[in-house]
Amino acid sequence: MGLRVEEDCLPRGMNGYYCDALGLIVLHDKLNARQRLCTLQHELIHAHYHDIGCGSVIGLRAELRARRETALTLISPVEYQLAEATYDGEAYSMAVELGVTMQVLKDYQDMLHDTIRM
């Protein structure tokens, strides 16, 4: 994709960001391996769509799309089912087993719930 990925100290609560004008992804320098993987995947999705920010209605839609696609990319349905059975639905253990953050696991579960409701 021709992007640069850098690490830097970012404000509290900000794990990373994508700057389309610079072709740059910046990740917080204090992320653990699971956080780094999930944040990088999330920002790569923003880069794929050339998203420019999340401060508008269009930006909020882009953020939701990036969260959904991150969860779908990083969590296999088969591995999810196995983790759910193994850990009896206990979220933290499932997230660790799947190698994702709690947020990514929750996003995946929300999509499952929405699919079932339809």
DSSP for 5-32?
EEEE---TT--EEEETTTTEEEEETT--
Do 13 and 33 contact (CB within 8 A), yes or no?
no
Quick one: residue 88, left, alpha or beta (phi over 0 = left, psi -120 to 50 = alpha)? left
Could you report the per-residue pLDDT of 2-57, keeping only the tens digit for each? 999 999 999 999 999 999 999 999 999 999 999 999 999 999 999 999 998 777 77
Q: What is the pTM of this model?
A: 0.92
Single-letter amino acid code for the residue at 105: L
Q: What's the pLDDT at 57?
A: 78
Q: Which is nearest to 14 in space by CA: 52, 54, 51? A: 54
User: Would you place residue 113 in the very low, low, confident or very high pLDDT band (cuts 50, 70, 90)?
Assistant: confident
